[in-house]
Copies of this chain bind each other. A is one copy, B any other.
């Protein structure tokens, strides 16, 4: 028998809140009877939305939270001051072990700060790491860290590699995933002092470390887990997004330039849709913040119901596979 999992969901975070968030929650519980949701947010708005749906009432509970944290607020200040926000209340449910996980499409900074301060780190973990998936030719890679640890130590990178391996193997189902260090050359001697030190440490760890990966090989899918400090991770993550969008808009401009190309484009519609879909990784869920005493997942700000549902199912897998227990066993204190 499967175990029950309880997920607290921030109903107020993200561009499509609360409607798409609520819809995604309903879809997840209608899909899996072993999920219970705490929908955290303005109870008047949420309850009004809920009347539209048919679902098992025992699987969903509304937790009132009248404040919201804006993406432009200072994360640390917002977490301290807005005790009645959906984000702080949701994270407290994880801290108090009432929920196994917390999901939010809200401010990344506030989720990172709140996750660390409210939920707290696993003993022995130096820094929790935000690990989104980025698309490549044949699938996805886990990019770790994209969080707040911009002045990293080599020992952090080693922990990211280990946590990433455990997550990727158990949640994405890839046995013995390939771990690579993002660097500016393949040789061990390449790079800045941080990655040189990290390389020497990673060689001696019980993971499938395949060495350095150059940025040009990332889209080829040469590694499953891409290890880097958060400054580099953030740049790669955001550049991927910006570059893909710009390429698609440039392509569109060229395709619609005259009658001949317009007819061609019409014929190509299904193929182009398929192509665009290659970059839609909402089906994989959100980015986990690994290394905390509970699961916190940041989903994309523009998440729709499908992305929310898949993120909740991802939490279920995380819990079923006992990821945190495995992380604890693997981290030497």
Binding site for B on A (CB under 8 A): 136-137, 150-151, 182, 184, 191-193, 195, 214-220, 229-232, 234-247, 249-251, 254-255, 257-258, 260-261, 263-268, 270-272, 274-275, 278
* Chain B residues within 8 Å of A137, by CB: 246, 249-250
Distance in angstroms between the alpha carbons of A231 and B228 in the assembled complex: 12
B215 and A242 form a contact (CB under 8 A): yes
Which residue of chain B lies nearest to A152 when distances are taken between CB atoms in the complex? B192
The 7 tightest CB contacts between A and B, nearest first, are A264-B267, A216-B242, A219-B246, A264-B268, A215-B239, A216-B238, A184-B234
Interface centre among A137, A150, A263 (most CB of B within 10 A): A150
Name A277's closest neighbour in chain B (CB-CB).
B254
Question: Cβ of A268: which chain B residues have Cβ within 8 Å of it?
Answer: 255, 261, 264-265, 268
**21 A-B residue pairs with CB within 8 Å:** A136-B246, A151-B192, A151-B193, A215-B235, A215-B236, A216-B238, A216-B241, A216-B242, A218-B239, A218-B242, A218-B243, A219-B245, A231-B232, A235-B236, A240-B243, A254-B271, A254-B275, A255-B271, A257-B271, A263-B267, A267-B267
Question: Which residues in B have their C-beta under 8 angstroms from that of A251?
Answer: 251, 275
